[in-house]
Amino acid sequence: GIQHGESPEEAMYRELHEEVGLLPEHVQIIGRTRDWLRYDVPEEFLRRQHATKGHRASYRGQKQIWFLLRLVGLDSDIQLRASEHPEFDAWRWIPFWIQLDAVIDFKREVYQLALSELARYLSRGMRMQQLAWGSPLDLFQSLYASEENQQNASKPTDKS
């Protein structure tokens, strides 16, 4: 998360380095969400996650600014063991849009809002290029935007 006195951009660069080892010179900022996007973690999920640790949850959700980044460095610049407590053990490139069901239920709406908003920064030719986005580096998840589904629904089909 954002530390006291940090801007969202400074926090993004710090988290990017802590979580996947990338430095500011490895990425180019393409865009960011205009506003904070929020989600709440369901109570039953918090109870389950913290029951084995013997303490109560210290958070209820997150508010995030999402960034759309382009990797200008190399794949080999990604170092998942950049910190003492790695958060990821693998990574892969995927298209910007994937199935919504690949995202945990309580985060789906935030993903849809963020990616729909960030899609405005993509040129037609960039839509399937290798892009990374962050905050908090749900880097390898994405979903179909409701806009795309609505556009497809309004197109005539051969069956009509």
Q: What is the pLDDT of residue 79?
A: 94
In three state form, how does the secondary structure of 61-86 look?
Answer: EEEECCEEEEECCCHHHCCCCCCCCC
**In the predicted model, is pLDDT for residue 146 greater than 90?**
no
Q: Strand pairing of 67-71 and 61-64?
A: unpaired
Domain that holds residue 84: 8-153
Q: What is the pLDDT of residue 45?
A: 74
**In the predicted model, is pLDDT for residue 135 greater than 50?**
no
Is there a domain that residue 159 lies in? no
Is there a domain that residue 158 lies in? no
Is there a domain that residue 1 lies in? no
Is there a domain that residue 117 lies in? yes
Distance, in Å, from the CA atom of 51 to the CA atom of 125, rounded to the nearest integer, reads 47
Distance, in Å, from the CA atom of 27 to the CA atom of 134, rounded to the nearest integer, reads 11
Q: Name the token pair of 110.
A: 């935030």
Is there a domain that residue 3 lies in? no
Is there a domain that residue 54 lies in? yes
Q: Which amino acid is at 84?
A: E
* Least confident piece of the model among 15-19, 29-33, 50-54, 134-138: 134-138
φ/ψ of 77, rounded to 5, equals: -75, -20
3-state secondary structure of 113: helix
Mean pLDDT (whole number) for 89-101: 78
Is there a domain that residue 49 lies in? yes
Is there a domain that residue 160 lies in? no
**In the predicted model, is pLDDT for residue 115 greater than 90?**
no
* Least confident piece of the model among 28-37, 84-93, 138-147: 138-147
**In the predicted model, is pLDDT for residue 126 greater than 80?**
no
Q: What is the pLDDT of residue 60?
A: 76
Number of domains within the chain: 1
**In the predicted model, is pLDDT for residue 151 greater than 80?**
no
Q: What is the CATH number of the domain that holds 52?
A: 3.90.79.10
What's the whole-model pTM score? 0.68
